[in-house]
């Protein structure tokens, strides 16, 4: 595919021109797109970038909401083509994967052997490389930690062409920095992970409503010991006495013997999401039905009906659902983001320490309401600290909110985000690069420990001294701090 470059100008010709957007479509870029399939092809692009004076962003499935996987004017290395399962051992649950393997391909590979990935994102279309680089969390973060906690070993291809094999014993520093290092230190080209053994393809779900955020947190705290997964939906448009009301879903693995016919549910088809709505309407068109409701009154109506019907109908309802159906709710409607219109959406997800979470999230919701910019979706999760250098997780809670972006609200939205940042920072909170589109140059110093930032910059200097790996996000948040001189000074 990618031939060794002869002349950089030609090698960056029209075959590689592409517009590349953040998943939320609110941030966009023009880039030179490459689709390597082997480590050598990646090396060729590293060399090409060096020769042409370009920077490179590594890109998986591009599911980061903001600008983490785009690089305006630079090279975009799309790794989706490196999607081989290198080996899978059902006896031990150990799997070796190339970086472009998606969560979808992963669960499809292991389900029939009675396994499920220990950590998955809310969409199954993310890749191993992207999940490792962002150290993604699932709805079980409070229990099993992030994606990185289940990686045994990986190979990282540095811009010099050198491959570093890292695990917790060898290259431990790099191990804990590349995971969470948002693609700035090198490219994952092989990941070895441990999968979770399950006795059934089904989960037992319990759903109930909570009248406010305090009640939601109380429920989470009461249930953490027993729950395998916990996730809250919050009616983010409701104000007044309804502020922070929502619905909680708890899911638990079935124990040995609880599912009389595990073989039936441990199949790809039993985990697959339905292709049609009501059996007839192709799912790919549903976003068109959603479109008229993606505005303040529309979302108010939908959220209120969802909340009240759950209050009336659920009352602690208990039922079984497949892993896929529970985990990938957001994949039910393909392209739902298009319902947000041409301006797209941003997600604002902040992480707050346990004791501060309720008050801070209430303040955040109030601030959004009084700015006239209510978020349209709110998802609440519980987290725990982890050992990765730039981790977003802490002992507390996160609230992820989707905001519609339009030409007319964009500026107000960004300044609202600045206001919310202050609330989060005042309360000792954190942010997540996979979602972010609005933080500013000084932000990282206010939420990441200085020692972690310095350690990261030192590794950046060591692994990528020419500063080839960059993204629009890294330029926005780190400015010139990756360049050698500045790093030396700050060390």
Ligand X SMILES: Cc1cc2nc3c(=O)[nH]c(=O)nc-3n(C[C@H](O)[C@H](O)[C@H](O)COP(=O)(O)OP(=O)(O)OC[C@H]3O[C@@H](n4cnc5c(N)ncnc54)[C@H](O)[C@@H]3O)c2cc1C
Which residues contact other proteins by CB under 8 A?
9-10, 13-15, 17-19, 21, 30, 33, 73
Count of residues in contact with ligand X, rule CB under 6 A: 32
**Binding site partner of 59, from ligand X, other proteins, none, Cβ cut-off 5-8 A by kind:** ligand X
> And the tokens for 99?
């970086």
For residue 313, how many other CB atoms are within 10 A of its CB? 10
Residue 434 as a binder of ligand X (CB under 6 A): the answer is: yes
**Per-residue x/- track, 323-352, ligand X (CB under 6 A):** -------x----------------------
Q: Kindly calculate the radius of gyration of the chain based on its CA atoms and give it in whole angstroms.
A: 22
CA 52/CA 333 separation, integer angstroms: 41
- Least Å from the CB of residue 487 to other proteins: 29
- Least Å from the CB of residue 344 to ligand X: 12
- Least Å from the CB of residue 262 to ligand X: 26
Selected from 25, 133, 179, 294, the binder of ligand X by CB under 6 A is 133
**Binding site partner of 99, from ligand X, other proteins, none, Cβ cut-off 5-8 A by kind:** ligand X
Selected from 43, 137, 245, 430, the binder of ligand X by CB under 6 A is 137
> And the tokens for 491?
């060390």
Greatest C-alpha distance within the chain: 68
Residue 165 as a binder of ligand X (CB under 6 A): the answer is: no
**Binding site partner of 76, from ligand X, other proteins, none, Cβ cut-off 5-8 A by kind:** none
Token pair 């709805």: residue: 139
CA torsion 57-61-67-72 (nearest 10°) is: 50
Task: Select from 87-95, 182-190, 196-204, 407-415 the region that touches ligand X (CB under 6 A).
Answer: 182-190
Task: Select from 183-191, 263-271, 282-290, 451-459 the region that touches ligand X (CB under 6 A).
Answer: 183-191
Whether the CB-CB separation of 146 and 137 falls below 8 Å is answered with: yes
Selected from 134, 360, 448, 457, the binder of ligand X by CB under 6 A is 134
Beta strands (DSSP E) in 354-472 are 377-383, 396-404, 430-431
Q: Looking at residue 3, what DSSP letter applies?
A: P
Helix/strand/coil for 331 = helix
> And the tokens for 32?
């030179």
- Least Å from the CB of residue 221 to other proteins: 46
**Per-residue x/- track, 29-68, ligand X (CB under 6 A):** ----------------------------xxxxxxxx---x
Measured from the CB atom, is 107 or 182 closer to ligand X?
182
- Least Å from the CB of residue 9 to other proteins: 8
- Least Å from the CB of residue 30 to other proteins: 6
User: CB-side exposure of 330: number of CA atoms within 13 Å?
Assistant: 16
Beta bridge partners of 77: 34, 58
> And the tokens for 380?
């609440």
Residue 99 as a binder of ligand X (CB under 6 A): the answer is: yes
For residue 190, how many other CB atoms are within 10 A of its CB? 20
- Least Å from the CB of residue 9 to ligand X: 25
**Binding site partner of 77, from ligand X, other proteins, none, Cβ cut-off 5-8 A by kind:** none
Residue 131 as a binder of ligand X (CB under 6 A): the answer is: yes
Query: Could you tell me the CA-to-CA distances from 346 to 150, 283, 437, 483 in Å, in that order?
Result: 29, 23, 7, 29
Q: Looking at residue 441, what DSSP letter applies?
A: T
**Binding site partner of 79, from ligand X, other proteins, none, Cβ cut-off 5-8 A by kind:** ligand X
Identify the CA nearest to 102 among candidates 121, 83, 87: 83
> And the tokens for 322?
């497949």
CA 76/CA 58 separation, integer angstroms: 6
Residue 467 as a binder of ligand X (CB under 6 A): the answer is: no
For residue 377, how many other CB atoms are within 10 A of its CB? 20
Measured from the CB atom, is 19 or 276 closer to other proteins?
19
Selected from 46, 107, 142, 188, the binder of ligand X by CB under 6 A is 188
Q: By CB under 6 A, name the binding residues for ligand X.
A: 23, 57-64, 68-69, 79, 99, 121-123, 126-127, 129-131, 133-134, 136-137, 182-183, 187-188, 330, 434, 471
């Amino acid at each position: 595919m990618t031939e060794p470059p002869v002349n950089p100008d030609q090698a960056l010709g029209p075959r590689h021109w592409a517009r590349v957007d953040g998943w939320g479509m609110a941030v966009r870029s023009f880039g030179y797109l490459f689709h390597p399939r082997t480590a050598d092809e990646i090396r060729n692009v590293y060399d090409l970038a060096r020769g042409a004076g370009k920077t490179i962003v590594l890109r998986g499935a591009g599911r980061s909401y903001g600008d983490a996987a785009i690089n305006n004017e630079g090279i975009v290395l799309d790794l989706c083509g490196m999607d081989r399962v290198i080996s899978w051992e059902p006896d031990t649950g150990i799997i070796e994967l190339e970086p472009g393997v998606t969560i979808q391909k992963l669960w499809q590979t292991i389900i029939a052997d009675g396994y499920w990935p220990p950590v998955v994102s809310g969409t199954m279309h993310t890749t191993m490389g992207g999940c490792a680089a962002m150290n993604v969390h699932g709805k079980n973060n409070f229990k099993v930690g992030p994606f990185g906690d289940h990686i045994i070993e990986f190979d990282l291809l540095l811009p010099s062409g050198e491959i570093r094999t890292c695990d917790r014993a060898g290259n431990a520093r790099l191990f804990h920095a590349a995971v969470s290092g948002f693609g700035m230190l090198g490219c994952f080209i092989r990941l070895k992970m441990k999968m979770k053994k399950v006795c059934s393809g089904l989960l037992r779900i319990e759903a109930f409503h909570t009248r406010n955020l305090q009640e939601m947190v109380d429920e989470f705290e009461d249930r953490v010991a027993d729950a395998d997964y916990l996730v809250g939906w919050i009616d983010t448009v409701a104000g007044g006495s309804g502020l922070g009301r929502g619905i909680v879903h708890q899911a638990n693995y079935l124990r040995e013997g609880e599912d009389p016919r595990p073989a039936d549910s441990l199949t790809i088809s039993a985990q697959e999401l339905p292709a049609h709505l009501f059996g007839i309407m192709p799912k790919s068109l549903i976003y068109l039905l959603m479109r008229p409701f993606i505005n303040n009154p529309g979302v108010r109506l939908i959220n209120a009906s969802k909340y009240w019907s759950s209050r009336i109908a659920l009352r602690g309802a208990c039922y079984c659902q497949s892993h896929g159906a529970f985990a990938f709710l957001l994949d039910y409607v393909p392209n739902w983001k298009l319902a947000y219109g041409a301006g797209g959406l941003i997600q604002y997800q902040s992480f707050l320490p346990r004791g501060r979470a309720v008050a801070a999230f209430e303040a955040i919701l109030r601030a959004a309401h009084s700015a006239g910019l209510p978020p349209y979706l709110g998802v609440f999760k519980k987290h725990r600290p982890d050992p990765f250098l730039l981790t977003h997780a802490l002992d507390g809670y996160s609230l992820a909110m989707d905001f519609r972006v339009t030409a007319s609200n964009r500026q107000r939205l960004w300044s609202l985000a600045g206001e919310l940042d202050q609330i989060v920072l005042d309360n000792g909170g954190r942010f997540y690069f996979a979602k972010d589109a609005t933080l500013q140059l000084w932000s990282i110093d206010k939420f990441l420990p200085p020692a972690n930032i310095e350690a990261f910059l030192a590794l950046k200097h060591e692994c990528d001294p020419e500063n080839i790996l960059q993204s629009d996000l890294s330029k926005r948040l780190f400015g010139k701090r990756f360049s050698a001189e500045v790093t030396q000074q700050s060390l």
